[in-house]
């Protein structure tokens, strides 16, 4: 293996490990009773500070024209607020490992949405991949699987809102002229707009989280997840530019694997044969659906997340 390929592989694994750990961190963050609006608000504030610093360092401004605002708004609502609310609600009730596996559905959901919007052409291979993904979900929710209580079944569709949102977001943005905006600028603008939108909601809902000490495990988890997500996302954008979207799309497998690994290490989760079978089937489906050539980044999972929280 050449030094350049080894470097790219190392970065891919590092980014996947970073994104994967955000799932158990989200589980820890909600364990103290923190509610979604409060968590999302501070996640967006931290993203604004980090991504704004990156834009400032790169000398890139932030356009605020009508077309740019439309992109920021879609990414803020469809790609951040809506999926994060679903993720945090689901994380209260579902094991972190199951959330990590369900997150890989974003690539599968993207295919039928792309067909409906005219962003892609029909493919039997991709249809097979979509079917495998549905089989994988079925294996996860069968009796005797990794859902400790049967009542948890109702929260599986809730956890599927996030990958569905990412797929919709990516397809919408793929149809629009980005006006020279790069992905870091888009996420920075969306995070800034998200702070403006979520700020009043977090106060009115009573879900405000004080930034003042004392700090517990949930506060540390929120801070760590927010910082990791912003930095890893910037690294992912760099990887797409350096190695191409097809190579970068493989991060979905790495994120899922590390998400399960971190859940086992940090949360002590253990899984049944059904779980491992479901993961194998779903990742096989992702392999069939993911882009084979330098296609739009939408098929790699959208702008916001491959496994965002």
- 57 CB-near residues (< 8 Å, 6+ apart): none
pLDDT tens-digit series, residues 143-154? 555 566 666 788
pLDDT for position 307: 37
- 55 CB-near residues (< 8 Å, 6+ apart): 61, 62, 184, 185, 188
| DSSP secondary structure, 256-276, as one string | HHHHHHHHHHHH-----HHHH
Give residue 32's pLDDT band: very low, low, confident or very high (50, 70, 90): confident
pLDDT for position 30: 93
pLDDT for position 302: 42
Instruction: Please give the mean pLDDT across all residues of the chain.
Output: 85
pLDDT tens-digit series, residues 271-281? 888 889 989 99
Task: Note if the pTM is more than 0.95.
Answer: no
Q: What is the mean pLDDT of residues 286-298?
A: 63
pLDDT for position 244: 66
pLDDT tens-digit series, residues 194-227? 999 999 999 999 999 999 999 999 999 999 999 9
- Residue 296 vs residue 115, higher pLDDT: 115
């Amino acid at each position: 293996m050449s030094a350049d390929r080894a470097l790219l592989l190392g970065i891919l694994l590092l980014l996947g490990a970073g994104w994967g750990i955000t799932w158990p961190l989200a589980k820890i963050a909600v364990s103290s009773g923190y509610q979604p609006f409060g968590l999302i608000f501070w996640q967006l504030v931290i993203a604004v500070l980090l991504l704004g610093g990156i834009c400032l360092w790169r000398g890139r401004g932030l356009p605020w024209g009508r077309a740019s605002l439309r992109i920021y708004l879609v990414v803020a609502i469809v790609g951040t607020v809506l999926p994060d609310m679903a993720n945090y609600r689901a994380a209260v009730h579902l094991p972190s490992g199951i959330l990590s596996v369900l997150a890989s559905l974003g690539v599968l959901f993207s295919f039928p949405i792309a067909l409906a919007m005219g962003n892609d052409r029909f493919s039997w291979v991709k249809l097979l991949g979509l079917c495998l993904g549905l089989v994988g979900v079925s294996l996860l929710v069968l009796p005797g699987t990794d859902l400790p209580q049967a009542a948890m079944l109702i929260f599986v569709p809730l956890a599927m809102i996030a990958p569905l949102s990412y797929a919709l977001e990516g397809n919408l943005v793929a149809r629009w002229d980005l006006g020279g905006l790069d992905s870091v600028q888009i996420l920075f603008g969306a995070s800034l707009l998200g702070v403006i939108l979520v700020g009043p909601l977090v106060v009115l809902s009573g879900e405000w989280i004080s930034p003042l000490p004392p700090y517990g495990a949930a506060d540390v988890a929120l801070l760590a997840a927010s910082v990791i997500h912003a930095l890893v996302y910037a690294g992912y954008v760099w990887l797409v530019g350096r190695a191409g979207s097809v190579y970068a799309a493989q991060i979905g497998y790495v994120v899922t694997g590390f998400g399960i690994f971190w859940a086992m290490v940090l949360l002590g989760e253990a899984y049944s044969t059904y779980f491992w079978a479901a993961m194998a089937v779903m990742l096989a489906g992702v392999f069939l659906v993911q882009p084979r050539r330098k296609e739009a980044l939408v098929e790699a999972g959208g702008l916001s997340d491959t496994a965002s929280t």
